[in-house]
Chains A and B, each alone.
Chain A
Amino acid sequence: MLIRRAPDIRPSAITDEETYLNRRKFLQLAGFAAAGTMAGSLGAAEPRGKPFPKVAKSPFSSDEAPNSYEDATTYNNFYEFGTGKGDPYRYSQNFETRPWQVTVGGECARPGEYSYEDLVGPHTLEERVYRLRCVEAWSMVIPWVGFPLADLVKRLEPNSRAKYIRFKTLYDPAQMPGQRRAVLDWPYVEGLTIAEATHPLTLMTVGLYGRELPNQNGAPLRLVVPWKYGFKSIKSIVSIEFTEQRPRSSWELAAPSEYGFYANVNPEVDHPRWSQARERRIGGGLFAEKQPTLMFNGYAEQVAHLYDGLDLRRNF
């Protein structure tokens, strides 16, 4: 498969950790992070994850300025820890992510129980700065750390019957308070076609901003599929299953008229309750203008061919 280089890449323009942490320091010095806040700012969010020693830069990175570490780690959708945007940060701090086991099964030659170390160890980590577009019409730019899911899929040796991959998030209501209520049909399930899963942009992700994933961002192992709405990028993965039948994802089951299996970012197909034509980039403040949403979140050149002949209005 020929993958052209993303047109908007300028690795030199990527903000280094020093810079985005300095913004926080500035705010603290200015006294902004001090007192109680009204609607969501959660104050201190110091990076706690272990830094990865060597992470290669990737030509797939966007040259847009990443969001602040604080925005990316305190404004999250991770319903396992609650439905409020601040809940994941608030309620995930004691979440235990070691030891971590992932069950691999279904139509492949290497099923079994893999530890996090077995699963991630053999791969070379790289940093990818991707746009993240939430189905709720907001977006961020996040420097993820991970490796192509394609490399893992290759290792697991799917057979010819494997047409899809079904992923599951950990189900552990004792640690994940959001799972104590049936907001969704737990555990969270997501799926990709094999072609989507093995696309070079699809990232098996273990970190952000050069460090191990914070719990609220889906530690220790999550998917990042940058041309799809954020909910496709399943977090805290414990199961990878190769299937012949198309899996049904949690949001698809919860509200089939609102969330489809593909969930490709598409400014032309609106959510029934809001427009998807524009998005609000987080970090712009109160008076920033919304920006136009791009087809496939700006990754059309790389992924559009995956959907040739597919009616994207019906297969939203």
Chain B
Amino acid sequence: MRHPGVVQLRAIKAVVFALCLLPFAVMVMSAFRIAGFDLGANPVESLIHETGLWGLRLLLVTLAVTPARRLTGWNWLVRLRRMLGLFAFFYVLCHFLSYAVIDQRLALGPIVEDIVERPFITIGVLALLLLLPLAVTSTNKMMRRLGKRWQSLHRLVYPIAILGVWHFWWQVKEDIREPLIYATVLALLLGLRLWFRSKKARPARTGLVRADRPAHG
């Protein structure tokens, strides 16, 4: 699928949108015990965990767009990136809100204490704060207005992803298998970028050079 038409692309976007929304729909049904869905014995913990995991997953999917484009030559993939990034932000925000509103019931004292005294929460909140300007500047208008600076700003996604995985890693008790998977995927995605860059330094194949042009969408 090298060049999907306008209608095809619209259909692809609709499907991706629905897929991104699916975990949220399941969470809502689980929270209200609809159709046999259930959040288990500790629903608050489950909700915080699930929203965080989906935030991280979508962040990694967003970061996979560029390598996937390079490897397949499907440049249209970049047209999905904004939606994926915004969904990542949406789940990270849900993650924070489940913690702040449902778990802590907006008790400012304990929330501030957590953010200040517990490093894994500090870096999680930092990642969320860094995501905010990216979400705000995701519109076409902002892209045009910021011009070249837009891309520099959106490079923040790399430290954000690292903070996110680190936040997950730091939070688990002894069994690091799951965060290790996320860290490996992230390392792979960042490593691919370094590899592309080193290829670019040398004379590159034409296909890759073309794909390298910034393509906003």
Q: Report which A residues bind B (CB closer than 8 A).
A: 31-42, 70-71, 74-75, 79, 83, 85-86, 136, 138, 181, 183-184, 254-255, 270, 272-275, 277-278, 280, 282-283, 285-287, 289-290
Chain A contact surface mostly = loop
Set of chain A residues within 8 Å of B38, measured between Cβ atoms: 32, 37-41
CB distance from A227 to the nearest CB of B (A): 22
**Nearest 7 A-B pairs (CB), nearest first?**
A40-B40, A35-B36, A75-B41, A83-B175, A39-B46, A41-B38, A286-B43
The chain A residue with its CB closest to the CB of B41 is A75
Question: Is the Cβ of B39 less than 8 Å from the Cβ of A286?
Answer: yes
Please give, as numbers and ranges, the residues of chain A lying within 8 Å of B120 by CB-CB distance: 273
Query: Quick one: given A32-B38, A254-B174, are A37 and B43 in contact (CB under 8 Å)?
Result: no
State which of A34, A254, A282, A287 has its C-beta within 8 Å of the C-beta of B41: A282
Whether B173 pairs with A280 at a CB distance below 8 angstroms is: no
**A287 with B173, Cβ < 8 A, contacts A34-B36, A35-B35, A75-B40 known:** no
A-B contact pairs, 24 of them (CB 8 A): A31-B36, A36-B36, A37-B36, A38-B30, A38-B37, A38-B40, A39-B38, A39-B46, A40-B38, A40-B42, A74-B41, A75-B41, A79-B174, A79-B175, A86-B40, A138-B45, A181-B175, A255-B174, A270-B117, A272-B118, A280-B42, A280-B103, A286-B39, A286-B47
Shortest C-beta distance, A196 to chain B (Å), equals 24
- On whether A138 and B175 interact (CB within 8 A), knowing A32-B36, A38-B50, A39-B49, the answer reads no
CB-CB under 8 A from A290, the residues of chain B are 103, 105
Alpha-carbon distance A184/B50, docked complex (angstroms): 26
Give the number of residue pairs across the A-B interface with Cβ within 8 Å: 98
Chain B interface main SS type:
helix
Would B174 and A183 count as touching, CB distance under 8 A?
yes
| Chain A residue contacts of B143, Cβ below 8 A | none
Q: Using A38-B27, A39-B49 as known contacts, say yes or no to A138 and B36 having CB atoms under 8 A apart.
A: no
- B interface size (C-beta, 8 A): 34
Residues of A within 8 A of B117 (CB): 270
- A35 CB contact (under 8 Å) in B37, B42, B43: B37
The listed residue with most B CB atoms (<10 A of its CB), out of A33, A40, A74, A75, is A40
- Given A39-B46, A39-B50, A272-B118, 12 more contacts at CB 8 Å? A33-B36, A35-B35, A35-B36, A37-B36, A38-B37, A40-B39, A41-B38, A41-B39, A41-B41, A74-B41, A85-B41, A274-B118
B30: nearest chain-A partner, CB-CB: A38
> Given the complex, which residues of B lie within 8 Å of A74, measured CB to CB?
40-41
B155 on the interface (CB 8 Å rule)?
Answer: no
Q: Is the CB of A38 within 8 A of B39?
A: yes
Does A37 contact B35, Cβ atoms closer than 8 Å? Answer: no
Q: In the complex the two chains form, what is the Cα distance from A194 to B171 in whole Å? A: 34
Cα(A111)–Cα(B174), bound, Å: 35
Kindly list chain B residues whose C-beta atoms are within 8 Å of the C-beta of A286. 31, 39, 43-44, 47, 102
- B33 / chain A contacts, CB cutoff of 8 Å: 32
- In the bound complex, how far is the Cα of B30 from the Cα of A290, in angstroms? 21
* Cβ of B207 under 8 Å from chain A: no
Measured in the bound complex, the distance between the Cα atoms of B120 and A275 in whole Å is 13
Q: What separation, in Å, do the CA atoms of A35 and B29 have in the docked complex?
A: 12
- For the complex, give the distance between the alpha carbons of A83 and B174 in Å: 9
Instruction: Judge whether A39 and B171 touch: CB under 8 Å.
Output: no
